[in-house]
Amino acid sequence: MKPDSSQLVYDGKLVDVTLERWDEHEREIVEHPGAVAIVAIDREGLLTLVRQRREAVRKELLELPAGTLEEGEAPLESAQRELEEETGLTGGTWRGVVAFYTTPGFCRERMHLFFAHDLERGTSSPADDEQLELVRWPAGEIELHLPEIEDAKTLVGLLLYFREREATKAG
Amino acid sequence: MKPDSSQLVYDGKLVDVTLERWDEHEREIVEHPGAVAIVAIDREGLLTLVRQRREAVRKELLELPAGTLEEGEAPLESAQRELEEETGLTGGTWRGVVAFYTTPGFCRERMHLFFAHDLERGTSSPADDEQLELVRWPAGEIELHLPEIEDAKTLVGLLLYFREREATKAG
């Protein structure tokens, strides 16, 4: 599946826009290298989230630790790097859970979601344009906090995690 | 919360890009008018999804019926219009469930999710650049089909719907 023609119409720093022709239709597409997000549970059974200012939406949001894939980087490697940078969490047991498109109507971004358990706490080193506040919740209390979440990847991750916990309890 | 300065750097058809200055940081932001998506259950207890070619991600995806807010349109009004256009479903009982950002790191898009029950089937009238195939699943079988879903809003909608069904059964 590929376009009849493709033209770069905006060459930005994070975001590029391509104009593609598909049969008689034109599509404007936001390019993106892909991303990772982590449902991160430490040895004390606490989930770590990050609260940060999201200029694009004019709001502080509470989100899963996440980041953008760097060139040549595998999703798991990227996820482990981003988690350590943003939260100081390392080690643990990792599992790829699902990959999905964040907004496939106009953007290429594919998000790889991981569950990581038994993580060890350490010192974070966020990028200097990231002002992050770490928020920790007991993993068993996630459902109570769901109404505080306004970010798609975080909703997907926490709902899948919650569903798995319930299935384990029931089984 | 607002930027020190803002400049339109790409003026597209669907997508615009703005460059904003926030303190010492520059942010590239994809503008978007907002969107709606619907977990749509008809009078026979079937969930309706749409399968469509998503050029941006080079794939056919199975998604909740959804669309972009038009100027001056309220989210519920938009959701009812989009659902009828894409699937022919009308009437029924509607409820706003959650609103979330699809990719708040760089894009303004806010997605309003609705649950609609007891819908009546009719004739769809998709826009001429939309080639949609309707797919119907018994609402009770949603969980079996989750591995087929690769779209964030659809995962959020179906996971929330599934959770509510389970809670109702348990209660």
At B111-134, the pLDDT tens digits run 999 999 999 999 877 776 667 899
A128 phi, psi to nearest 5 deg: -75, -5
Take residue B32 and report the two structure tokens written for it. Answer: 């978007």
Confidence band for A125, pLDDT divided at 50, 70 and 90: confident
pLDDT at position B129 is: 65
Q: Which helix (H) or strand (E) holds A159?
A: helix A152-170
Say yes or no to pLDDT of A128 above 70.
Answer: no
| Mean pLDDT of the residues in chain A | 93
Please report the DSSP string for B81-112 in residue order.
Answer: HHHHHHH--B-SEEEEEEEEES-TTTB--EEE
Cα B142–Cα B78–Cα A156 angle in degrees, nearest 5: 35
Q: Chain-centre distance of CA A152, in angstroms?
A: 9
Take residue B148 and report the two structure tokens written for it. Answer: 């087929």
Low-confidence ranges of chain B (pLDDT < 50): none
Q: Which of A78-87, A126-135, B59-68, B110-119 has the lowest mean pLDDT?
A: A126-135
Given an 8 Å threshold on Cβ–Cβ distance, is B61 in contact with A104?
yes
Q: Determine the residue of chain A that is closest to B18 in CA distance.
A: A56
d(CA A155, CA A136): 16
Take residue A61 and report the two structure tokens written for it. Answer: 């949001």
Please state the rounded mean pLDDT for residues A114-141.
88
Say yes or no to pLDDT of A159 above 70.
Answer: yes
B109 touches chain A (CB under 8 A): yes
Q: For helices A152-170 and B152-170, give the axis angle rounded to 10 degrees.
A: 40
- Which DSSP symbol is given to B105? T
B144 touches chain A (CB under 8 A): no
Task: Say which of B28, B30, B58 has its CB closest to residue A2.
Answer: B58
Confidence band for A13, pLDDT divided at 50, 70 and 90: confident
Take residue A3 and report the two structure tokens written for it. Answer: 């376009």
Given an 8 Å threshold on Cβ–Cβ distance, is B27 in contact with A56?
yes
Task: Say which of A57, A104, A160 has its CB closest to residue B57.
Answer: A104
Confidence band for A14, pLDDT divided at 50, 70 and 90: confident
Say yes or no to pLDDT of A129 above 70.
Answer: no
Secondary structure (3-state) at B143: helix
Q: Determine the residue of chain A that is closest to B62 in CA distance.
A: A104
